[in-house]
Amino acid sequence: MTEPPDEFAWIDRLRPLSRGDPRALGLVDDAAVIPGREGHELVVSVDAIVEGVHFLVGEAPDVVARRLLRTSLSDLAAKTAEPFGYFLLTAWPNDRSWDYRDAFIRGLAEDGEAFGVALLGGDTVGTPGPMTVSATVMGWCPKGQTLLRSGARPGDLLVVCGVIGDGWLGLRAARGEIDDPSGCLANHYRTPRPLFELRPLLRRWARAAADVSDGLVADAGHLARASGLGLELDLALMLISPGGLAWCASQDDQVEARVALATGGDDYAIVCAVDPRHEMDFKRGSAALGVPAATVGVFDTASDVRLRFGGQAARTAKPGWSH
């Protein structure tokens, strides 16, 4: 049996991912130094993904790396932060060869370049259990402008930027459980796109926002609860992709189908609270940026989240993914 790759040789291979950022200290120290940025606040988020839970066993390592970085960065997109760097934790099973790890690095390098983020440090360990990787991502927001989950007001509209259901359907497609001739559903699951292009629009018109990672019902509920409000959400108004519509058409119960899409998670759309006076400006602006947007609900002074499908009530025992 060959020896597992050495920790410090691994760090040597990671060094180009720092992209020359002086905050990384060349990845030769055991910390990074991040100076403050005048007039800005630092926004930090951490996510972890586990083999067999958040990505498929046997998934291509470059895809695992890109999925990790993109799902982590999606939190910063919802906060309207400008990303600049991340810390990486890798817990490797001993059977992961240099070829596997180098492919993982290639995925990080590709998306590090695409999103302008540098590796600033981290840690690597071995594990007898499933592969686990984590990214702590960081970005800057102008002081006082970080968009939180709280901030919605009674009468604000619940607007979703992006389609709903492709993440959940994409996982099923990647498993071979449903047809996906174009591969669009599986690609959405494997490499979702953080919606940074919406940053100026969200800063101008949104009062609260979150990314849709756990499911639309769950994440819209997070906004309502953080704002001390209730919410009525109409599942008939969600934007659904052609692949999602085709799947819905194959289902006997359309209400159950919509509930499944709205609670499945992994969409990485952005859900936000918008003043009704700015609804059309917001949605036109989002469409102009290539991200379709739909009004799907309204915040109120009730204490719960109520679902409907057009004129009929809808119910679910589970609003979204839970660990």
Q: What is the pLDDT of residues 51-66, one digit of tens each?
A: 999 999 999 999 999 9
- My answer on whether 68 and 176 are in the same domain is no
Q: Does residue 272 lie in a domain region?
A: yes
pLDDT recorded at residue 1? 38
126 - beta bridge partners? Answer: 92
- My answer on whether 175 and 128 are in the same domain is no
How far out from the chain centre does Cα 80 lie? 13
The rounded radius of gyration (Å) of the Cα atoms in the chain is 20
Q: Which of 142, 169, 203 is the last residue of a domain?
A: 142
Q: What is the pLDDT of residues 192-236, one digit of tens each?
A: 999 999 999 999 999 999 999 999 999 999 999 999 999 999 999
Q: What is the pLDDT of residues 113-134, one digit of tens each?
A: 999 999 999 999 999 989 999 9
Residues 6 or more apart whose CB falls under 8 angstroms from that of 60 comprise: 103
Q: Which of 40, 295, 38, 257 is nearest to 165 (CA)?
A: 257
pLDDT at 3 over 60: no
pLDDT recorded at residue 195? 98
The total domain count for the chain is: 2
The encoded tokens of residue 238 equal 């969600």
pTM of the model: 0.92
Q: Does residue 323 lie in a domain region?
A: no
- My answer on whether 66 and 198 are in the same domain is no
- My answer on whether 108 and 212 are in the same domain is no
Per the structure, the complete domain to which residue 52 belongs is given by 7-142
- C-alpha 214/C-alpha 319 separation (Å) is 8
Q: What is the pLDDT of residues 294-314, one digit of tens each?
A: 999 999 999 899 999 988 888
Q: Indicate which CATH number applies to the domain containing 66.
A: 3.30.1330.10
